[in-house]
Amino acid sequence: MKSHTYKPGVRMKTSGAPREFQAALLVLCVFFIVGAGLGRLGHSYVTAGDNEELARYICSYADLVSGSKNTAADICSVVLLYFRYPLFYFFLGFLSVGALLIPFTCAVQGFFLSFSISCFASSLGKSGVLLALSAFGIRCLFMLPCCFLLAAWSFLSAKDRISRTGTGAGRNSVSAGSFWRFAICVIVLLVGSVLELSVVPRLFSLALAKI
């Protein structure tokens, strides 16, 4: 009989945590999708003349990237691209205002990503889609999962900071868990950055050959 005893409070806590995380992740995905929709809508105001200028700029940019030799400036630019949003989400988790800023940032991120892809596609047609995949494919594959995971964890942490009345020991355990999660994401982002520097220029070269 004794071996079947359990602590209801502990069980509810462990089973409730995944549901809270899933709910937070769903909310942030909705904000991201709304932002992406607004980005697509915003692109509808781009004129044909703007598309021609965008096409010339994108071709020049693609030619520059395809011939990149991974200089220090290129490395810093890629690191900034990969880490700016994850770092922002991570540090917002230590602020109560993060409960408001994290969903807003997800919407902003979705807006700019959607707007950029739409610019590639509308200015260069099918070739623009290939260049967009070359430019954003690897980045989205590695960065977006880390962004959503960090944003969801930080969102819950920020909400917890608003309502928490626990002890300092509880705050330390949350911070330790946050750092471990962030460390894993850093490894994933570093792998993505290396691939961005080594693979994307070749993909751009292949895409340029089809323009």
- Inform me whether the pLDDT recorded for 168 exceeds 90: no
Dihedral sign computed on CA atoms, order 121, 136, 196, 76: positive
Structural domain contains residue 7: no
Which tens digit of pLDDT belongs to each residue from 172-206?
445 556 788 889 999 999 999 998 888 877 777 77
Structural domain contains residue 96: yes
User: How many structural domains is the chain composed of?
Assistant: 1
- Looking at the chain, the whole-number percentage of residues with pLDDT higher than 70 is 73
3-state helix, strand, coil in the chain (%, to 5): 85, 0, 15
Three-state DSSP class for residue 209: coil
Structural domain contains residue 9: no
DSSP state of 165: -
Calculate mean pLDDT across residues 162-181: 61
Question: Whole-angstrom Cα distance, residue 187 to residue 124?
Answer: 35
Give pTM, 2 decimals: 0.79
Structural domain contains residue 11: no
Structural domain contains residue 26: yes
Contact, 191 vs 139, CB < 8 A? no
Structural domain contains residue 100: yes
Range of the domain at 149: 16-208
